[in-house]
Structure 1
Amino acid sequence: MAHYFVGDLQGCYDEFRRLLAKVEFNPSRDQIWAVGDLVARGPGSLDVLRFFAKHEGAAHTVLGNHDLHLLAVQGGLKRAKPSDKLDALLQAEDIRYLIDFVREQPLVHHLPQQDLVVTHAGVPPQWDLDTLLKESAFVSKALKRPDYLTALIAEMYGTDVDTWSPELKGLKRRVYCINALTRMRFLHADGRLDFDCKMPPSSGTQGDLAPWFNFPSSLPETTKIVFGHWAALMGETHSDRFQALDTGCCWGEHMTILHLETGEKITQNALKRS
């Protein structure tokens, strides 16, 4: 059995299927984990969600910020942007089933045998493994409630919850978890989340900011972190421990799959569309 990890799909279904063909992915034998943001910007969000729902035993994902935003759009809390190309998904006859499927997905996958965790944006350096799993489960519990739209999704937008404290309670605790696991890129020197800078670290214009993965991690030193979200990195963290897989397919770059057992990264260029 092979274990594969794929960067942000964002509706780029055709490129995803070509990558699966390149690695000869077999859902009866292999496992694939996506780093979140299955939907938005590419034309195939509906097909992507249907693939993961159909192959739920072999295809896994964590939630990204675009996946959570889909819940808000479908629930009437936000308007869909034309550039997100979500019309086919929102008008699909199985939209309710797919939305419920999204709500069931976690914010983190932990693979203990591989000593590896998967999140969309990364892991706050202050969090050990127990905290990471506990805080993710706290959000997942709220997403599965009947009132998830009003109790969580409507309240998750904003930048006022940017600092971790074990004293955070209720909604603020959940919002910090969402912000950290689905939106994080740079941190201030004191550990506060920055929500504005999306440039690569090499741009040299970040002031006191540093990438979250440059801070000492509270996870075991052997634990790998696989993440996406930050396309500007183009897969470069200068560390084998931190595997960045978003390589900007929806922006015309390419999609990346990591074959865990060999360490090989296989890519598929974005397809040209009229």
Structure 2
Amino acid sequence: MATYAIGDIQGCFGPFQQLLRQIEFNPGRDTLWLTGDLVNRGPESLEVLRWVFRHSDKVQIVLGNHDLHLLAVAEGFGKVRSDDTLLDILNAGDGKLLLDWLRCQPLMIEQQGYAMVHAGLLPEWTVDRAMGLAEEVEDCLSGPRYRDFLSRLYGNKPTRWSDELKGIERLRLVVNAMTRMRLVTRDGELDLAFKGELDKAPANLLPWFDAPGRRSAGTPIICGHWSALGLYVTEDILSIDTGCLWGGSLTALRLEDRQVFSLPCPAEQALS
């Protein structure tokens, strides 16, 4: 029995299946954790979503920004961008079944001594606090008023956490931090503009996991989202989006011993 965490797949079904063969994944014995962004930009988003749905008793996912974008677009609240590869899902006969299932997936999990979230946690949040905030979002997404929530999801503000935040501003900041964040200012304000390599980041910004006084420190956090960062593993941060979509690699990490497995990916994965 083993638990493998795998970084952002983004519709790259072929490399995903090759990596599963490489690690000798056995759904009768093993478990997968997926860091979110199952879909979009790669050529086979529908195939990825179908496979994960079919094996959902052995796969644990958290929602990423591209997964939420798919849900919003499906309800008419977002535009299909020129580099999106979501139409196969939207037009599929089983598309609604898959989307209804996806909408009920968590934003964050905590199991086996690890936490997993797509992007990161704001410095003010303990893991327990973050789990509670994630559940607030999950209740909206899985509840009867989910369309109202999705209709107001897009936006970059607010950028600073306060316990006094309420309503959609509170929920949007939780979503943006957990699914879009890479960097924060030194006093903890969310930055959503920079997406590049760490050594090219502006001097006033630092990775969310290096924020002074980060209250989630000490619990190992598995995340993805920041492909330009690459594989980054410390005692309590395991960032495993290694840019399969962009010709990097797809990475799996076995939780029991932290062994890393990596599969090189062809650059032509993304569709133009």
SS in 1 for 2:232: coil
Indicate the percent of aligned positions where both proteins have the same amino acid: 40
Q: How many residues matched? A: 268
8 A Cα contact 2:246 2:267, kept in partner:
no
Q: Residue 151 of structure 2 aligns with which residue?
A: 154
- Distance in structure 1 (CA, Å) of the matches to 2:109 and 2:35: 9
Q: Residue 241 of structure 1 aligns with which residue?
A: 236
User: What CA deviation, in whole Å up to 9, does each residue of 1:55-107 have, x standing for no partner?
Assistant: 11111110000000001111112221242222211111001001101111010
- Distance in structure 2 (CA, Å) of the matches to 1:49 and 1:83: 18
Moved more, 71-80 or 21-30: 71-80
Aligned ranges 1:1-274 → 2 under 5 Å: 1-111=1-111, 114-149=112-147, 151-203=148-200, 205-215=201-211, 216-219=213-216, 221=218, 223-236=219-232, 239-271=234-266, 273=268
TM-score normalized by the length of structure 1: 0.94
- Distance in structure 2 (CA, Å) of the matches to 1:273 and 1:165: 43
- Distance in structure 2 (CA, Å) of the matches to 1:107 and 1:160: 19
- Distance in structure 2 (CA, Å) of the matches to 1:157 and 1:66: 12
- Distance in structure 2 (CA, Å) of the matches to 1:143 and 1:117: 21
How far 1:152 moved relative to its partner? Answer: 1.2
User: What CA deviation, in whole Å up to 9, does each residue of 1:149-181 have, x standing for no partner?
Assistant: 2x2112111112111111111211111110110
User: What CA deviation, in whole Å up to 9, does each residue of 1:114-165 have, x standing for no partner?
Assistant: 311000001212111221111000000000123312x211211111211111
How far 1:51 moved relative to its partner? Answer: 1.2
Which 5+ residue runs of structure 2 have no aligned equivalent?
A: none
SS in 2 for 1:161: coil
- Distance in structure 1 (CA, Å) of the matches to 2:150 and 2:184: 24
TM-score normalized by the length of structure 2: 0.95
How far 1:272 moved relative to its partner? Answer: 5.8
Moved more, 59-68 or 260-269: 260-269
- Distance in structure 2 (CA, Å) of the matches to 1:257 and 1:12: 14
How far 1:220 moved relative to its partner? Answer: 5.5
SS in 2 for 1:233: coil
SS in 1 for 2:252: strand
Which 5+ residue runs of structure 1 have no aligned equivalent?
A: none
- Distance in structure 2 (CA, Å) of the matches to 1:120 and 1:132: 13
SS in 2 for 1:84: coil
- Distance in structure 1 (CA, Å) of the matches to 2:196 and 2:24: 34
- Distance in structure 2 (CA, Å) of the matches to 1:142 and 1:5: 26
- Distance in structure 2 (CA, Å) of the matches to 1:98 and 1:22: 27
8 A Cα contact 2:121 2:177, kept in partner:
yes
- Distance in structure 1 (CA, Å) of the matches to 2:197 and 2:113: 27
- Distance in structure 1 (CA, Å) of the matches to 2:51 and 2:132: 28
Moved more, 6-15 or 121-130: 121-130
8 A Cα contact 2:240 2:252, kept in partner:
yes
8 A Cα contact 2:248 2:265, kept in partner:
yes
SS in 2 for 1:167: coil
Residues 1:62 and 1:56: Cα distance change in structure 2 (over 3 Å): same
SS in 2 for 1:83: coil
- Distance in structure 2 (CA, Å) of the matches to 1:233 and 1:191: 20
- Distance in structure 2 (CA, Å) of the matches to 1:263 and 1:190: 32
Aligned residue identity for 1:228 = G
RMSD: 1.4
